[in-house]
Amino acid sequence: MDTESTIPLKITFNGPANHFTDAIPVGNGRLGAMVWGGVASETLQLNEDTLWTGIPGDYTRPTAPEALSEVRGLVDHGEYAEATEAAVKLFGNPAQVYQLLGDIKLEFDDSHLAYAEETYHRELDLNTATAQVNYSVGDVEFTRECFSSKPDQVIVTKISGSKSGSLSFTASLESKLNHHSYVNGNNQIVMEGNCPGKRIPPNMSANDEPKGIQFSAILDIQISDSTGKIHALGDKKLKVESSDWALLFLVSSSSFEGPFTKPLDSKKDPTSESMNALKSIKNLSYSDLYARHLDDYQNLFHRVSLQLSTSSEGLARDKSLEMRPLYSITDVLPKGNENDTVSAAERVKSFQIDEDPSLVELLFQYGRYLLISCSRPGTQVANLQGIWNKDLEPKWDSAPHLNINLEMNYWPSLPCNLSECQEPFFDFLTSLSVNGSKTAQVNYIASGWVVHHKSDIWAKSSADQGNAVWALWAMGGAWLCTHLWEHYKYTLDKDFLKTKAYPLLEGCALFLLDWLIEGHDGYLDTNPSTSPEHNFIAPDGKTACVSYSSTMDMAIIREVFSAIISAAEVLGTNEDPLLKKCVRLS
């Protein structure tokens, strides 16, 4: 990235966050935090990507074939509203719910209430994946820096004052989940707890069954050697007094071992794993941790630069325009926008009347930043909110929704040169195919595998409970499979195509061939079929959503057939009888 000619990629704020969406997200794919930037009281809302309600489920329904025949018959007779109503018999259990980890609460002394508001500055630097807060109290400037390290699996926060001995605060670690916290030694707070074993139960205790995912988080605080002291304040809080600086290390682990292992059967000890994570960074300085974080993050982030001109005339006049390395899109940098202290809110507001290409650049890179921060090799797939969530009952369960949301999360990965960030997506797809094969066989008497519109960490494959307008859609797995061929086209990774992509495409195609049935005028139809989240007015004037052969269905099926045909040509397996069926129908 040409850092000399680009405007700093910083999202700035002139005050603490008032809402969750105003806070700054940091993440390493697995561990995330939302930095609110409060002055007298600061909150870092924490997430760990394996914290979900529930246990592995049964995604089959033996009575579904009979219900399927009923729904298909109603569709064939044009009774679409009745088919919509009968479709409820095809639903499975509801998906599970993504949970939060907890909060780091920092309480500063009363002098911080009188901070100089004009000195306040909060920013997210996309170039370094670091959140920073600055403000002054009297003649002391306070600075906080926060980043989530992938190499060392720790969220690091550094707090410092410009005058020796000026830093004092109280720290606690809390959660809305069932938990208990305790001070360990004189510089650690340990929090141990569990997620509910059932979806949003009324009130559960640690002894309730089924046993949900267990978790642990440890907050470790280090302070300057020459000044200050740290001690326990009761049995749940730590007090830092008169220090020059403090380093806060947050590590976390859970008992989750995979979508097919019950939490009760897990052999993982979250607290031991968290302690080991702290031990592994014991001899690393803040500078070491930051350098390792930067090297890892910038290896991904610096692959793409984007600079936009204010107008096409500007491009025509610039004779120095040249092609940059692969995945670099470089135009002419607009002049006069070098002031990165203007708040994000002000820039968004002024964009309505004043063209600001640098804001578009910032938004583009922010999207890349978020994907890097919530999806890395070995992590869970990015959910509806990435990894950032503050609620026990988040909107739409913060689950992977396959009728566009999960696909959209990963659309930027290839054109933005972040192919590694897709690995959790493909791991998830493999798990879905395992459960999806049981759903296909039992619910639809079909071969291959199927997944519907909504899933969870347990790789739920059956139709969700709810409204047929979104829950019934059986093309979720098929749409995800189109990413497999796209990944090959970008990477030309033949081993990936052979070992990962082709088996998944094959299973998907097998289901689609069985799902297509002879319908009107001898054509093959999908029945029942919905166009995701769209109703229509049937000929009898009733509102319905279930019919046959929606354009969405047919377009995705055609794309999957095309992909497996192309993959077979690359791999030299185009004599497979399955391919002949796909060729005939594509």
The answer to whether 123 touches 23, Cβ cutoff 8 Å, is no
316-327 burial string, b = 16+ CB within 10 Å, else e?
A: eeeeeeeeeeee
> Which one, of 338, 355, 532, 379, lies nearest residue 452 by Cα?
532
Q: Taking 50 as the threshold, does the pLDDT of residue 368 lie above it? A: yes
pLDDT at 332: 32
pLDDT at 6: 57
Mean pLDDT of the chain: 92
The alpha carbon of 208 is separated from its chain's Cα centroid by a whole number of angstroms, namely 29
pLDDT at 340: 63
Q: Taking 90 as the threshold, does the pLDDT of residue 66 lie above it? A: yes
pLDDT at 22: 96
Q: In this structure, what token pair is assigned to residue 303?
A: 């692959």
The answer for residues whose C-beta is within 8 angstroms of residue 110's C-beta and 6 or more apart is: 40
The pLDDT > 70 percentage for the chain reads 93
pLDDT in tens, 293-340: 999 999 999 999 999 976 654 444 444 433 333 333 333 333 344 446
Phi/psi of residue 357, nearest 5 degrees: -60, -30
Q: Taking 50 as the threshold, does the pLDDT of residue 2 lie above it? A: no
Average confidence (pLDDT) over 82-93: 97
Average confidence (pLDDT) over 224-242: 94
Q: Taking 70 as the threshold, does the pLDDT of residue 412 lie above it? A: yes
> Between residues 311 and 514, which one has the greater pLDDT?
514
In angstroms, the Cα distances linking 524 to 170, 512, 516 are 67, 11, 6
pLDDT in tens, 104-161: 999 999 999 999 999 999 999 999 999 999 999 999 999 999 999 999 999 999 999 9
Q: What angle do CA 283, 289, 291 make, to 5 degrees?
A: 130
pLDDT in tens, 452-497: 999 999 999 999 999 999 999 999 999 999 999 999 999 999 999 9
Average confidence (pLDDT) over 45-67: 98
The answer for residues whose C-beta is within 8 angstroms of residue 565's C-beta and 6 or more apart is: 574, 579, 582, 583, 586
The answer for residues whose C-beta is within 8 angstroms of residue 333's C-beta and 6 or more apart is: 5, 6, 7, 307, 309
**Residue spans of beta strands (DSSP E) within 374-528:** 516-518, 524-526
pLDDT in tens, 182-207: 999 999 999 999 999 999 777 777 67
Q: How far apart are CA 438 and CA 236, in angstroms?
A: 47
Phi/psi of residue 61, nearest 5 degrees: -145, 100
Range of lowest pLDDT (166-180, 343-357, 539-553) = 343-357
In angstroms, the Cα distances linking 512 to 488, 527, 556, 578 are 22, 12, 10, 11
> Between residues 210 and 170, which one has the greater pLDDT?
170
Q: Taking 90 as the threshold, does the pLDDT of residue 1 lie above it? A: no
Phi/psi of residue 385, nearest 5 degrees: -115, 25
> What is the DSSP secondary structure assignment for residue 128, as one 8-state letter?
T
pLDDT at 380: 98
